[in-house]
Amino acid sequence: MKPNLLYTPLVYLKGVGPNRAETLKSELGLETYGDLLQFYPNRYLDKTQYYKISQLHNSGADVQIVGKIVHLKTVEQKRGKRLVATYVDETGQMELVWFRGHKWIKENIKMNTPYVVFGKVNRFGSTFSMPHPEMELLKDHQAGLKISMQPIYPSTEKLTNKGITNKVVSKMVQQLFMETKANFSETLSQGLLNELNLLPRPESLLNIHFPKSQDLLAKAQFRLKFEELFYVQLQLLSKKAVRKRKIKGMPFTAVGEKFNEFYANHLPFELTNAQKRVIKEIRNDMGSSAQMNRLLQGDVGSGKTIVALMCMLLAIDNSYQACLMAPTEILAQQHYNGLKELLHKTDIKIALLTGSTKKAERTFLHNQLENGNLNILVGTHAVLEDKVQFKNLGLAIIDEQHRFGVAQRSKLWQKNTIPPHILVMTATPIPRTLAMSLYGDLDISVIDELPPGRKPIKTVHRFDANRLKVFRFIKDEIEKGRQIYVVYPLIQESEALDYKDLMDGYESIAREFPSPKYQISIVHGQMKPQDKDYEMDRFVKGETQIMVATTVIEVGVNVPNASVMIIESAEKFGLSQLHQLRGRVGRGAEQSFCILMTSHKLSEDAKTRLETMCRTNDGFEIAEVDLKLRGPGDLMGTQQSGMLNLKIADIVKDNPILKLARYHAIQLLKNDPKLEQPDHHVIRNTYTQLVKGKGLWGYIS
């Protein structure tokens, strides 16, 4: 079939008028035949099975039952009426229930006539009941198309209200198959079809919509998932290959004086093996002639900063400048202080640029950057401003990447005629499965080892009722000279409420820990930056023992003497945020603690999150759980959601297929990079269509 038939607007499909076309577009984003073809059912009803009423279980599964309605009545209840039918077969009786549409049912239903009903059953006491069943007269059912598995398509309330029921959608798809004669072209090579024993594409599409059997459905699903993931991988891998080939970077060939001198004389500790390995990976990458685009993952406290510094020294050794960007002023300041301390015995020039840098200093900085006197610039977004020009920026490092957008990353590219090497550091562990899909075009390094001597943080869950015990514990810790964080959630939608929670909490702590014996810092989003810094600073210096804060402290702050993290309303935080917050303690030699405070009202997901936190300190394990709970879209925050627009595959559940697809994409590009062999033409053509983004596929936005 010519592909252009699949670009035909749905309004031309028989049974779809302009109104329906509009609704399909606004509700489901379906515009063309091709879109509808790839609008897959999300479950199926097995119509090969008929149940007897005596066989019903309270399983929540959809069942199909042959019987008759023998009685119909309207029941008044507090919230409106319901219509109840007594439905019987030779083994017993049950109820069919409607909460809406009573008039139509009453007028149309036939009493004492054999029907087939379809739907979920619930048990109330000893009676089974089926709300809003799908019904068909037995004689129509027997005369109708013999579909053994009925597709159930995703739906919305609006669709149902506008009469686009599941039956209607299913009819549209049948019509589509008739008009196109199901003559869909193959998109995978014969080699792949043979090797993996894949179902051909037309058969797969037919069976995904109207499965002839469980077995064929499974085969169709496998084939379509494989195809989808295969092309995603192919795209990511070719993008990476093109970048490696085409985008020339600055080869940092020298491992010179600064690096070696620092390594030999100024390293404050022995590097962990993971740190050494990662530095080597980065060095090899920057040493080649291609531009580096690398993601450095390392759990909180794994020591990414020193790795960043060593890499910047490599740039300087090759006569380039380097910059390090952080998402907040506090963090930029801390990086700056830390790096300055590490470098204080060297002659390397380093400066800080943030939104609050004074005009005169700013001008001076700009000059120093342009004439190359400055080696390292640490800063916030301020670094991205057009006025900030480098003499020769060779390496840009971005810390805590999820707060920077892609657009900002690309701004960095333009800071030099040849794009600088880019290293993105993140403490949000991205499961390998996801990284492979989302960042298939980036190289990835992982620091999977914590510096020696760290004691794992002990995490416990306490209910609000135990607050007094928790206060006593805090007192003991402060007695031992430790510092404490108390963190309150910050939910944007109700900023005022959050603020009230924070202030109430602060007051109760202030009562329990009176001055002058105890000193308390408070930091929240509504404070001026100077005030925030002042409070933060007092805590860093140890002048205050307790830091009461909203999540502004989440990222990167380093106070090794702080040994207790108390998270209030912990059920309101996501897993990755809890993990980030916990990472603020456990940075010194002392045993650290994290106390998750909650009320008794906990959702199942919240319980899972709390249990996970208490069970493990392993960021990757936590990320896997998070991924399962939230799905990939949410995991990375809004920035990445919608990046993968998968129609059928699920990168978590279908991880084995993802690996298989990736393996075959790699093999293919290795053996035939330009896809020139005759059997690969079909892949090349499909790929070209896909990259043109003609809407037939649209995997990646």
Which lies closer to ligand ADP via its Cβ, residue 32 or residue 297?
Answer: 297
Per CB under 5 A, the segment of 89-97, 210-218, 285-293, 555-563 that binds Mg ion is 555-563
Q: In the bound complex, what is the minimum distance in angstroms from residue 557's beta carbon to ligand ADP?
A: 9
């390094």: which residue's tokens?
Answer: 445
* CB-nearer residue toward ligand ADP: 188 or 309: 309
Looking at 88-96, 147-155, 549-557, 624-632, which segment touches Mg ion (CB under 5 A)?
549-557
| Choice between 580 and 598, CB closer to ligand ADP | 580
Please give the single-letter amino acid code of residue 676.
E
With CA atoms as reference, report the closest residue to 522 among 543, 498, 539, 541.
Answer: 539
Question: Least separation, in Å, of the C-beta of 575 and Mg ion?
Answer: 19
Q: Is 579 in the site for ligand ADP (CB under 6 A)?
A: no
CB of 336 to ligand ADP, least distance (A): 13
CA 171 vs. chain centroid, Å, equals 35
Residue 459 contact partner, candidates Mg ion, ligand ADP, none, CB within 5 to 8 A by sort of partner: none
Based on C-alpha coordinates, what's the Rg of the chain?
31
What residues contact 572, with CB distance under 8 A and at least 6 apart? Answer: 489, 491
- Cα separation values, 662 from 111, 337, 582, Å: 58, 43, 35
Give the residue, chosen from 148, 519, 558, 591, that forms a contact with ligand ADP under the rule CB under 6 A: 558
353 binds, among ligand ADP, Mg ion, none (CB under 5 to 8 A by kind): none
* Residue of 92, 114, 451, 574 that binds ligand ADP (CB under 6 A): 451
DSSP structure string for 371-397: TT---EEEESGGGGSTT---S-EEEEE
Per-residue mark of binding to ligand ADP, 242-271 (x: CB under 6 A): ---------------------------x-x
In terms of Cα–Cα distance, which of 259, 276, 266 is closest to 322?
259
Instruction: Find how far residue 36's CA is from the centre of its chain.
Output: 27
Contact 484, 566 (CB under 8 A): yes
Q: How far is residue 344's CA from residue 360's CA, in Å, rounded to a whole number?
A: 24
Which of 1, 3, 2 minimizes the C-alpha distance to 695?
3
Residue 685: half-sphere exposure toward Cβ, Cα within 13 Å: 13
Distance from C-alpha of 461 to C-alpha of 593, rounded to nearest angstrom = 11
Single out the residue of 119, 301, 429, 440 in contact with ligand ADP (rule: CB under 6 A). Answer: 301
Q: How far is CA 481 from CA 250, 587, 590, in A?
A: 49, 15, 11
- Of 86-94, 143-151, 179-187, 302-310, the window that binds ligand ADP (rule: CB under 6 A) is 302-310
Q: Is the CB of 556 or the CB of 619 nearer to Mg ion?
A: 556
Q: Which is nearer to ligand ADP, 133 or 303 (CB)?
A: 303
- Is residue 411 within 8 Å of residue 384, measured between CB atoms? yes
Nearer to ligand ADP, 269 or 663 (CB): 269
Closest CA to 249 of 216, 291, 282, 219: 291
Work out how close the CB of 590 gets to ligand ADP at its nearest, in angstroms, rounded to a whole number. Answer: 13
Query: Binding to Mg ion (CB under 5 A): which residues in 459-518?
Result: none
- What secondary structure does DSSP assign to 642-653, as a single string? TSB--SS--TTT
Exposure of 371 in the CB half-sphere (CA atoms within 13 A): 7
| Strand blocks (E) in 401-524 | 421-426, 443-447, 458-463, 483-487, 520-523
Q: Which of 272, 483, 550, 686 contacts ligand ADP by CB under 6 A?
A: 272
CB nearer to ligand ADP: pick between 300 and 442? 300
Question: Using the rule CB under 5 A, is 301 a contact of Mg ion?
Answer: no
As a whole number of angstroms, the distance between CA 203 and CA 184 comes to 9
Residue 301 contact, options Mg ion, ligand ADP, none, Cβ 5-8 Å cut-off depending on partner type: ligand ADP
272 contact choice in Mg ion, ligand ADP, none (CB below 5 to 8 Å, kind-dependent): ligand ADP
Of positions 427, 565, 636, 658, contacts ligand ADP by CB under 6 A: 427
Q: Which does 275 bind (CB under 5 to 8 A by kind): Mg ion, ligand ADP, none?
A: ligand ADP
Q: 219 or 402, CB closer to ligand ADP? A: 402
Stretch that binds ligand ADP, among 174-182, 238-246, 294-302, 536-544 (CB under 6 A): 294-302
By CB under 5 A, the count of residues binding Mg ion is 1
Residues in the chain: 701
Return d(Cα 174, Cα 182) in angstroms, integer: 10
Please compute, for residue 519, the number of CA atoms within 13 A of its CA located in the half-sphere on the CB side. 12
Which of residues 114 and 451 has its CB atom nearest to ligand ADP in the complex? 451
Asked whether 126 and 56 are in contact (CB, 8 A), the reply is no
558 binds, among Mg ion, ligand ADP, none (CB under 5 to 8 A by kind): ligand ADP
Return the number of the residue (129 or 305) whose C-beta is nearest ligand ADP: 305
Contact string 303-342 vs ligand ADP (x = CB under 6 A): xxxx------------------------------------
How many chain residues interact with ligand ADP (CB under 6 A)?
17
Q: Of 194-202, 293-301, 455-463, 502-510, which segment contacts ligand ADP by CB under 6 A?
A: 293-301
Ranges of H-type helices in 550-680: 575-582, 604-615, 619-635, 655-671
Do residues 570 and 557 touch, judged by C-beta distance below 8 A? no
Residue with smaller CB distance to ligand ADP, 305 or 445: 305
Q: Are strands 393-399 and 421-426 parallel, antiparallel or unpaired?
A: parallel
Run of H or E including 178: helix 166-180
The answer to whether 556 contacts Mg ion (rule: CB under 5 A) is yes
Nearer to ligand ADP, 308 or 523 (CB): 308
Residues lying near ligand ADP in the complex (CB under 6 A) = 269, 271-272, 275, 298, 300-306, 427, 451, 558, 560, 587
Which residues make up the interface to Mg ion (CB under 5 A)?
556
